[in-house]
A and B are shown apart, each in its own frame.
Chain A
Amino acid sequence: MHFDHGQVPEEYQQYIGRKKLFILIVAIGLTAILVVAISLGATNISMSSVAKSLIGMATSVQTKIIVWNIRLPQALAAIVAGAGLAVAGAVMQSILRNPLGSPFTLGISHAAAFGAALSVMVLGGGVMTSSNVGAISITNPYITTASAFLFSIGTSLLIIGVTRTRGASPEVMILTGVALGAFFTAGTMFLQFFADDMQLAAMVFWTFGDTARATWTELGFISTVTVVCVLYFFGNSWNYNAIDAGDETAKSLGVRVGRVRMTGMLLASMLTAVIIAFLGIIGFVGLVVPHMVRRIIGSDHRFLLPACFLVGAVLLLVSDTVARLILAPNVLPVSVLTAFLGAPAFFWLIIRGGRR
Chain B
Amino acid sequence: MILAIKRLAFGYNGHRILSDINLNVEPGELLAILGPNGVGKTTLLKCINSIHSPNTGTILVEDRNVLKMKPNEIALSIGYVAQRCETSRLTVFDTVLMGRKPHIRWRVAERDMKVADSALQQLDLARLSLRYIDELSGGELQKVAIARALVQEPRLLLLDEPTSSLDLRNQINILSIIRKIVDNHRIAAVMTMHDLNSALRYADRYCFLKDGYVHAVCDRSTISADIIENVYGLPVSIHHIDNCPVIVPEDHFN
Contacts and interface: CB of A to CB of B under 8 A. Distances in A.
A241 B93 contact: no
Contacts of B121: 5-6
B6 interface: no
Interface stretch (A138-146, A181-189, A246-254, A270-278): A246-254
B90 A244 contact: yes
Interface stretch (B71-79, B190-198, B235-243): B71-79
Contact of A356 (B70, B78, B89, B130): B89
Contact of A249 (B70, B82, B104, B110): B82
A300 B117 CA distance: 18
A6 B116 contact: yes
A346 interface: no
Given A4-B118, A251-B51, A244 B152 contact: no
Nearest to B106: A235
A294 B158 CA distance: 32
Nearest to A241: B98
Contacts of B86: 244-246, 249
A339 B88 CA distance: 28
A111 B200 CA distance: 60
A5 B121 CA distance: 9
Interface stretch (A7-15, A41-49, A153-161, A319-327): A7-15
Interface residues of B, number: 56
A299 interface: yes
A29 B107 CA distance: 27
Nearest to A246: B86
B98 to A, nearest CB: 6
A355 interface: yes
A246 B98 CA distance: 13
B215 interface: no
Interface in B81-139: 82, 84-91, 93-95, 98-99, 101-102, 104, 110, 113-119, 121, 126, 129-130, 132, 134
Given A6-B116, A248-B46, A254-B76, 12 more contacts: A1-B185, A2-B118, A3-B118, A6-B119, A8-B110, A9-B126, A241-B98, A251-B51, A252-B51, A252-B79, A252-B149, A299-B90
